[in-house]
Amino acid sequence: RKEVEQDPGPFNVPEGATVAFNCTYSNSASQSFFWYRQDCRKEPKLLMSVYSSGNEDGRFTAQLNRASQYISLLIRDSKLSDSATYLCVVNPGQFYFGSGTKLNVKP
Amino acid sequence: DAGVTQSPTHLIKTRGQQVTLRCSPISGHKSVSWYQQVLGQGPQFIFQYYEKEERGRGNFPDRFSARQFPNYSSELNVNALLLGDSALYLCASSLAYEQYFGPGTRLTVT
**Range A38-65 average pLDDT:** 95
What is the rounded (10 degree) CA torsion for B67, B69, B72, B76?
Answer: -30
- Say if residue A1's pLDDT is above 80: no
In percent, the amount of chain A with pLDDT more than 90 equals: 87
A32 touches chain B (CB under 8 A): yes
**Range B59-80 average pLDDT:** 97
B56 touches chain A (CB under 8 A): yes
CA distance A107 to chain B (A): 25
In percent, the amount of chain A with pLDDT more than 70 equals: 100
Q: How confident is the model at residue B1 (pLDDT cuts 50, 70, 90)?
A: low
**Range A1-18 average pLDDT:** 94
Partner-chain contact A94 B45, CB within 8 Å: yes
B98 touches chain A (CB under 8 A): yes
Q: Beta strands B105-109 and B10-13: pairing type?
A: parallel
In percent, the amount of chain B with pLDDT more than 90 equals: 95
- Provide the mean pLDDT of chain A: 95
The gap from C-alpha A64 to its chain's centroid, in whole angstroms, comes to 11
Q: Quick one: closest CA in B to A8, which residue?
A: B40
- Candidates B10, B26, B99, B106: best to mutate against A (most CBs of A within 10 A) is B99
What is the rounded (10 degree) CA torsion for A8, A55, B50, B6?
Answer: 50
CB A51 within 8 A of CB A65: no
The gap from C-alpha A90 to its chain's centroid, in whole angstroms, comes to 11
Tell me the per-residue pLDDT of B53-66, one tens digit each, with 9 for 90 and over.
999 999 999 999 99
Partner-chain contact B103 A99, CB within 8 Å: no
- Say if residue B96's pLDDT is above 90: no
- Say if residue B4's pLDDT is above 90: yes
- Provide the mean pLDDT of chain B: 96
Tell me the per-residue pLDDT of B12-36, one tens digit each, with 9 for 90 and over.
999 999 999 999 999 999 999 999 9
CB B90 within 8 A of CB B9: no
Q: How confident is the model at residue A93 (pLDDT cuts 50, 70, 90)?
A: confident
